[in-house]
A = this chain, B = another copy of it.
Amino acid sequence: MAARIEFWVEYASTYSYLSVTRIGRLAAEQGVEIDWQPFWLFPVRDQQGLSAPFPEGSARANYMWLDLERRARKLGLPYRRPEVYPFKSMPVARIGTVAAREGWCQAFTEAAFRLHWTQGVLMGTPENLAQALAAAGQDAARVEALASSPEIKEALTRQTPRAIERGIFGAPSFVVDGELFWGDDRLEDALQAARRAG
């Protein structure tokens, strides 16, 4: 069995920027295959009776921004705090669902996050999607039509019970052989588990 890691990506998640940016290189170096699993976190938490993680402006939220920037700096990643947070990520998750199905999820997702987190081209805006789709070599009109189809809507909806089955409650999440790892700071552990299981 090839070493393999499920990467559950929520496009509105802050720390996911770090993992989206890092996982491609790390997994390739370690011979681990990434199984991209775009999902929408809100209904997952809602069905689990979990509220929003914390109120904007609270000490907990303030710390997230401090820690996120500090981590980006430590990891050597460019970082520019986006002007908008939170935002509704369901539409971009539908495009991610098309991308995962067709095999270009990494290129699209890396570009969409990079635009949002380093250039102020906000996630899911027409400019963000156009540039990220172009980076993935895709025709925007074709993909956006497909992303609105009942089939893709249903595929994204089906991610909710699949996430819950795995015990997922946040993002980024990694699943290796049924074992859950949550948070960018568990990415290395998850990859190590994938190598052991592979």
Neighbour of A59 across the interface among B48, B59, B63, B70, CB < 8 A: B48
Q: Is there contact, CB below 8 Å, between A169 and B74?
A: no
**Which of the 9-residue segments A50-58, A99-107, A125-133 touches chain B?**
A50-58
Q: Does A24 contact B (CB under 8 A)?
A: no
In the assembled complex, the CB of A179 is this many whole angstroms from the nearest CB of chain B, namely 8
**Which residues of chain A from 145 to 198 have any CB-CB distance to chain B below 8 Å in the complex?**
164, 167-170, 180-182, 185-186, 189
Which range contains the number of A residues in contact with the other chain? 20 to 34
Q: Is there contact, CB below 8 Å, between A169 and B60?
A: yes
Complex-state Cα separation, A10 to B169, whole angstroms:
25
**Residue ranges of A at the interface with B (Cβ–Cβ < 8 Å):** 48-51, 54-55, 58-60, 62-63, 66-67, 70, 74, 164, 167-170, 180-182, 185-186, 189
